[in-house]
Amino acid sequence: MHWLDWAIVAAYLVYIVYDGLRLTKKSNEIEGYFLASRSLPWWAVGLSVMATQLSAITLVGTTGQAYSDGMRFIQFYFGLPFAMVILCVTAVPFFYRAKVFTAYEYLERRFDAKTRSLTSFFFLISRGLSCGVIVAAPSVVLSLVLGWNEVTTILVMGLTTTIYTMFGGVQAVTWTDVKQMIVIFVGLAVILYVILGQFPAGVSVSDAMQLAGSVGRMKTVDTKFDLNETYTLWSGLIGGLFLMLSYFGCDQSQVQRFLTARSVSEGRTSLLMSAFVKIPMQVLILFIGVMVFVFYQFVQPPMIFKADDRAKVENTADYVKLNAQFDLAFLARQQAATAFANTEGVAKETAKQEFIAANKTMTGIRNEAIGVFKREAKTDKFNDTNYVFPTFVTTYAPAGVIGLIIAAIFAAAMSSISAELASLSTATVIDFYRRYFKKDAPDSHYLNVSKIATGLWGVFACVVALYAGRLGSLIEVVNKFGSYFYGSLLGVFVLAIGTKRATGNGAFFGLLAGIGAVAAVGNYTKISFLWYNVVGCVVVVVVGMLVSLFETPKPAPPVTTS
């Protein structure tokens, strides 16, 4: 990297850590440390909600996903606005008035201690795994920029953020999130300008969209109903709705965000802000990935984007032969792309078909090269989707822009990692340590334990991160991890808030049944992971109500209306 890029990254990291620690207030009190004394304005909470979800996975994984598969991923978010409206009416006022630190505290009041503990335990496992994936994303960038191996980069990124989080409260996390979102928005705008500016003369944005659209990269809506297909209108509206309801309404990392708001109305407004800003922002990020795909129609991409995987096979006879074919295929595709962009009238269709054929040839050669890697490396796992965007940035972005984009990726990573670790620490201390081991202790004791818990979860996330990069597109991996648990957690809260007849045993055994059902569906069917959330929720509610029919329900505890 140029010295200017190093200066930008260094200045950003120093400032954000300093600012985060400077803004920490009342960190010697539990409510101040965990919930910012419920004092934050709606716009800060709203930006923090978005920053928590907008991890480096979104910038690295979603752009790579769009490069490989186009805009279809946007359907994943179609259920988000509906989920936010439902939560504004139900979860926000409910949890805020219940005066709880974690979403799972209420479950003991409503049901019993074992239901609270089991639900919190499954949250800890799901969020701990997801946090590991979030740590892996920026490590992809660091490994490319610094030339370090993935183990080193994961430890540097994960442990550095863990140390920062240990000494900052939720208030500090929220206000740094606000600044980080500004960096992210600026970074996205700049990188899109850079990509479009490097298109060949005569190739407009309209031409680029036609090129991408001819091979399916601009398709945003798939109306077919297929449970095995991940990104369709119906999986987004139904499966996505259940996922978003459970993530924003039952996941401590999100509940903790809106519990920091000054009032119920400001908590509601913060979620509505995310509902109406998230999809346009996601469209922009996906569009950037598609434009990177168009850029590589005119500039030759590597046959394998992940440099260390490529190095393992690039000297083998089979790879050398395929690489020569790839060079020729690229020249043919480049000529076809140029002809398609510059042709008008009746000849346009012919040029389009020639471009589609040339792109298919290149894709076939790349797939053969991937097969060579799998054979030589003796593995059936391969994925370089997460390296597409970082490779473009570090290779073709000008000095200064590289530093800004890396700062934006750091911003996304740090905001998500710190928020995840804070929520993991809060649930660990409140739902387990204070509940079972030390019920009466000064706030300073619980805060010290919380810092230790943050450190342990940070180490756990680093271990998960070492394996996450090989599991596929990071944006899909993190949502798969969540989907194994989220629907079932949602089912427990449906029983708790939506029914008076449900009992503690019903919720407890319903949750176990839901997790088991999702595991069976995941292992023995080809149903898309988005539908796991529907399966889990429905099974928990059905089994929970059946078990509850044989018991006398516990009266629901009153919730204050102040």
Q: Going residue by residue through the chain (562 aa), what tens digit of pLDDT does each one get?
A: 788 888 888 888 787 777 766 666 555 566 666 666 677 788 888 887 777 667 666 777 788 889 988 898 888 888 889 999 999 888 888 888 888 888 898 899 889 999 999 999 999 988 888 888 888 777 766 676 667 777 887 887 777 777 767 776 666 677 777 777 888 888 888 889 999 988 988 888 999 999 999 998 998 888 888 888 888 899 889 988 998 898 888 888 888 877 888 888 888 888 888 778 888 888 999 999 999 999 999 999 999 998 888 888 989 999 999 999 999 999 999 999 999 988 888 888 999 999 999 999 999 999 999 999 999 888 887 878 878 888 898 888 888 888 888 888 777 777 778 778 888 998 999 999 999 998 888 878 888 898 899 889 998 988 888 877 666 556 667 777 778 888 999 999 999 988 888 999 999 999 999 999 999 998 898 888 889 999 999 999 999 999 999 887 766 666 554 4
With tokens 């706030």, the residue in question is: 443
Give whole-number Cα distances, 446 to 13, 120, 182, 421, 428, in Å.
29, 18, 33, 16, 11
Question: Residue 243: its pLDDT value, please?
Answer: 86
Question: Residue 473: its pLDDT value, please?
Answer: 57
| Range 430-433, long-range pairs (CB < 8 A, 24+ positions) | 430/34, 430/101, 430/102, 430/105, 431/102, 431/104, 431/105, 431/116, 431/117, 431/120, 432/117, 432/120
State the Cα–Cα distance between residues 401 and 390, nearest whole angstrom: 12
Question: Residue 180: its pLDDT value, please?
Answer: 75
Residues recorded for the chain: 562
Question: Residue 470: its pLDDT value, please?
Answer: 62
Question: Residue 420: its pLDDT value, please?
Answer: 84
Shortest CA distance to 392 belongs to which of 313, 309, 289, 303? 289
pTM to 2 decimals? 0.82
Question: Residue 286: its pLDDT value, please?
Answer: 92
Q: Is the dihedral of CA 124, 128, 129, 130 positive or negative?
A: positive
Which amino acid does the sequence have at 450? S
Cβ–Cβ under 8 Å, residues 250 and 483 = no
State the Cα–Cα distance between residues 138 and 127, nearest whole angstrom: 18
State the Cα–Cα distance between residues 422 and 461, nearest whole angstrom: 13
CATH superfamily of 3-296+394-466: Sodium/glucose cotransporter (1.20.1730.10)
Three-state helix/strand/coil letters over 239-251: HHHHHHHHHHHHC
